[in-house]
Structure 1
Amino acid sequence: MGRSAYSYRDDPAVPAFPDDRPLVLFDGDCALCSGSARKILKADRTGVFRLAPTQSELGRALLVHYGVDPDDPYTMLLVQDGRAHERTDAVLAIAARLPMPWRLAVVGRIVPRFIRDFFYDFVARRRRRFPGQAWCAMPEAGASAGRDLADRVLG
């Protein structure tokens, strides 16, 4: 993840996308991940985040750009201010931009990253075992409290 800011703009494999807001890439084939994406949209009442499934053209291209296997993404990515964040760094950065009580999750930063990421990886490796794998990757229209999803869900 050590690339320079906005390096994806110079990568011809990455389609152009609006990067004026943070973009959350999530595994759209995973019930746990899709559920998390829905929770982000619901909690994000001011429209801070955009989301895209990793299975979309944009999602796959960004995963490859940042060295993540697009056929088995082990992490969600948060692309914010031109830089990618993964695992618990991404989760905590998202929580920091959401309203209370979600924002309280940032206290997790007191736990060393290697410990946080160990538990993240433990769940991520087992995420497809959770029930509900038939869920649709795209959040439903009501999930954003009437906000135009075409502007918030890319892909």
Structure 2
Amino acid sequence: MTGQPVLIFDGDCGFCTTSVRFAQRRIGVRARVTAWQFADLAALGTTRERAEHEVLWIDRDRVYGGAQAVAKLLITAGLPWSPLGFVLRVPPFRWVAQGLYRLIANNRRRLPGGTPACSPSLGRR
């Protein structure tokens, strides 16, 4: 992959869709944004299983997932967001961010905008 980074999210999940729209409006996403359901994941160097599990930031043939994808989004957004993105890449903040991301991702069906599509019973994590 070359050119513009790509942000991949779960387009069936209302919470994920709302979160991405918020980031586009308030933070300014400097990437092509697409739901994994409409992306050529193999061409982007990732899998459906990974895309179902976490948000992905794909840049120069490197795939960042979860909290690190969010960190990359913030870094590329520029000021005032980039310092927070850099902090999220450094231990122990990195570990805390990943734990918090996983907690939210595992419970997104219970959060505002969550839908039945976010339920682990449908094979989603």
**What TM-score comes out, normalization by structure 2 length?**
0.72
In the TM superposition, what is the alpha-carbon distance from 1:39 to its structure 2 partner? 2.5
In the TM superposition, what is the alpha-carbon distance from 1:66 to its structure 2 partner? 2.5
Quick one: structure 1 residues 118 and 62, their matched pair in 2 at CA, closer, same or farther if it must change by over 3 Å?
Answer: farther
Which residue pairs with 2:4 in the alignment? Answer: 21
Partner residue of 1:94 out of 66, 73, 85: 73
Q: Which amino acid aligns with 1:127?
A: R
Counting matched residue pairs gives: 112
In the TM superposition, what is the alpha-carbon distance from 1:62 to its structure 2 partner? 4.1
Q: Partners of 1:121 and 1:40 in 2: how far apart?
A: 19
Q: Which amino acid aligns with 1:69?
A: E
Quick one: structure 1 residues 126 and 39, their matched pair in 2 at CA, closer, same or farther if it must change by over 3 Å?
Answer: same
Structure with the higher helix share, 1 or 2: 2
Q: Which amino acid aligns with 2:79?
A: M
SS at match of 1:73: helix
Which residue pairs with 2:88 in the alignment? Answer: 108
Q: Partners of 1:75 and 1:39 in 2: how far apart?
A: 17
Partner residue of 2:56 out of 66, 74, 77: 77
Which residue pairs with 2:18 in the alignment? Answer: 35
**What TM-score comes out, normalization by structure 1 length?**
0.60
Note the alpha carbon deviations across 1:87-112, whole angstroms, 9 max, x for none: 11111111001133322322233343
User: Once superposed, what is the RMSD of the aligned Cα atoms?
Assistant: 2.7
Contact 2:30 2:76 in 1 (8 A): yes
SS at match of 2:74: helix
Which residue pairs with 1:55 in the alignment? Answer: 37
In the TM superposition, what is the alpha-carbon distance from 1:67 to its structure 2 partner? 4.2
- In terms of Rg, which structure is larger? 1
Quick one: structure 1 residues 75 and 132, their matched pair in 2 at CA, closer, same or farther if it must change by over 3 Å?
Answer: same
Q: Partners of 2:82 and 2:44 in 1: how far apart?
A: 30
Structure 2, unmatched stretches of 5+, are 116-125
Q: Partners of 1:83 and 1:52 in 2: how far apart?
A: 17
Q: Partners of 2:11 and 2:70 in 1: how far apart?
A: 17
Quick one: structure 1 residues 117 and 54, their matched pair in 2 at CA, closer, same or farther if it must change by over 3 Å?
Answer: same
Moved more, 77-86 or 125-134: 125-134
Contact 2:71 2:84 in 1 (8 A): yes
